[in-house]
Amino acid sequence: MKLDSIKRIGIAGAGTMGSGIALIFAKKGYKVTVMDLSITLLEDSRKLVDIFNQTLLAEELMTSDEEERVMSNIEYSLDKSAFKDCDLIIEAIVEKLEVKQSFWKEVKSIAKKDAYLATNTSGLSINSISEDIVDKTRFVGMHFWNPPHIVPLVELIKGDETSDETVEVLKSLMKRIDKEPVIVQKDTPGFIGNRLQFAAFREALHILKEGVGTVEDIDKAMRFGPGFRYPVLGPLETADLGGLDTFYYISAYLFKNLSDSKEAPEILKEKIDSGNLGVKTKEGFYEYFDGQDEEVIKRRDSMFIKMLKLNNSAEKK
Ligand code: NAI
Residue 209 sits in the same domain as residue 310: no
Phi, psi (rounded to 5 degrees) for 191: 50, -135
What is the reported pLDDT for 317? 59
Planar angle of CA 297, 278, 228, nearest 5 degrees: 55
CB-ligand 1 contact for 99 (6 Å cutoff):
yes
Ligand 1 atom nearest to CA at 18: 26
What is the reported pLDDT for 311? 81
CB 108 within 8 A of CB 84: no
Residue 52 sits in the same domain as residue 156: yes
What is the reported pLDDT for 244? 98
Residue 146 sits in the same domain as residue 24: yes
Report which secondary-structure segment, H or E, holds 18.
Answer: helix 16-27
Residue 258 sits in the same domain as residue 280: no
Residue 20 sits in the same domain as residue 163: yes
Question: Considering its fold, how many domains does the chain have in total?
Answer: 3
Is 276 among the residues known to form the active site?
Answer: no
Conformational region of residue 257, where left means phi above 0, alpha means psi within -120 to 50, and beta covers everything else = alpha
Is 274 among the residues known to form the active site?
Answer: no
Residue 157 sits in the same domain as residue 47: yes
Residue 67 sits in the same domain as residue 140: yes
Q: Structure pTM? A: 0.94
What is the reported pLDDT for 262? 96
Ligand 1 center–CA 45 separation, angstroms: 12
Is 263 among the residues known to form the active site?
Answer: no
pLDDT tens per residue across all 317 residues of the chain: 999 999 999 999 999 999 999 999 999 999 999 999 999 999 999 999 999 999 899 989 999 999 999 999 999 999 999 999 999 999 999 999 999 999 999 999 999 999 999 999 999 999 999 999 999 999 999 999 999 999 999 999 999 999 999 999 999 999 999 999 999 999 999 999 999 999 999 999 999 999 999 999 999 999 999 999 999 999 999 999 999 999 999 999 999 999 999 999 999 999 999 999 999 999 999 999 999 999 998 888 889 999 988 887 776 65
Residue 54: CATH number of its domain? 3.40.50.720
Q: How far apart (Å, rounded) are the C-alpha atoms in residues 171 and 165? A: 10
Ligand 1 center–CA 19 separation, angstroms: 10
What residues make up the domain containing 283? 275-317
Ligand 1 atom nearest to CA at 14: 9
